[in-house]
Amino acid sequence: MISSSELPGFVSANIPHDDFLECPTGLVEYYFADGIFRWSDSLYRMYGYERGEVVPSMDMAMAHIEPADRPRVQAYWERVSSAGGPSSIYVSIRDRKDRQHKLLYSADFILEGDTAVGVWGVVVDLTQSIHTDRHQLATEAVAASAVNRAVIEQAKGILMGRTGVNAEQAFELISQLSQDTNRKVHAIAQEIVERATAQDGDTKDQPLL
């Protein structure tokens, strides 16, 4: 089970080769209270859509999964949503244009304190690198995605604690700065974390953004 504060300890300290960081990576969140799936823009694109063209749901996603994989995916979802993780599964899907993608899903609980309130997942598209060692690629790609996710969550928490914004507003601030500076979101988040750490050990004030 993973909370924002625990994510850094869940990830291996070994940072993978840069090639793995280029694997298309998407994020999904599902909260038990409202039953709504929230997809990142990159996850929509893996399935061949843009945000607003479809409403993410289990039925919608299942229709894209290769028939042979559907029972395993259903069992995986039931297990993760009831028992948490971290847990991973490797599946094949067909996107909107009937192109096959090889995806790795890794998921765990979203925690509020000790209470599981939903499930979050990282989805890595391994299609372009499928000719390499699959096991090694899958392991390192998930590690890279989890590293990025951990840093982003940590940066969001810092902004929330120091500026009073909520989680969505904190991510919007990071995303906007990413667009303004043409840098990756995880790089902006890493800088926020580093500046906050420097402030904690120094009497000098520096802006976080």
Percentage with pLDDT > 90 across the chain:
43
Is 93:103 a contact under the CB 8 Å cutoff? Answer: yes
> Once rounded to an integer, what is the mean pLDDT over residues 12-22?
40
Q: Is the dihedral of CA 21, 123, 171, 161 positive or negative?
A: negative
Q: Is residue 192 pLDDT above 60, yes or no?
A: yes
From the CA atom positions of the chain, what is the Rg in Å? 18
Cα gap 188→100, rounded to integer Å: 33
Quickly state the pLDDT bin for 12 (edges 50, 70, 90): very low
In one-letter notation, the amino acid at residue 55 is V
Please say whether the beta carbons of 106 and 87 come within 8 A: yes
Q: What pLDDT does 27 receive?
A: 92
Mean pLDDT of 33-61: 94
**Is the pLDDT reported for residue 55 higher than 70?**
yes
Tell me, what's the pLDDT at 47? 96
The pLDDT score that the predictor gives to residue 16 is 40
**Superfamily the domain 24-125 falls into:** PAS domain (3.30.450.20)
Q: Poorest-confidence range of 23-32, 86-95, 148-157?
A: 148-157
Q: What is the pLDDT of residue 182?
A: 87
Residues 68-86 have pLDDT tens digits of 999 999 999 999 999 988 8
Could you tell me how far CA 161 lies from the centroid of its own chain? Answer: 22
Over residues 173-199, mean pLDDT = 85
Q: Give the pLDDT band of residue 149 (cuts 50, 70, 90).
A: confident
Rounded percentage of the chain residues whose pLDDT exceeds 70: 75
Q: Which residue has the tokens 């993760």?
A: 80
Neighbour order of strands in the sheet with 87-94: 36-39, 25-31, 115-125, 100-112, 87-94
Which of the residue ranges 2-11, 54-63, 183-192 would you say has the lowest mean pLDDT?
2-11
Residue 10 — pLDDT band, cuts 50, 70, 90? very low
For the chain, the structural domain boundaries read 24-125, 135-209
In degrees rounded to 5, what are phi and psi of residue 94? Answer: -115, 125
Closest by Cα among 95, 104, 97, 99 to 129 = 104
**In contact, 58 and 77? CB cutoff 8 Å:** yes
- Token readout for 162 is 């120091």
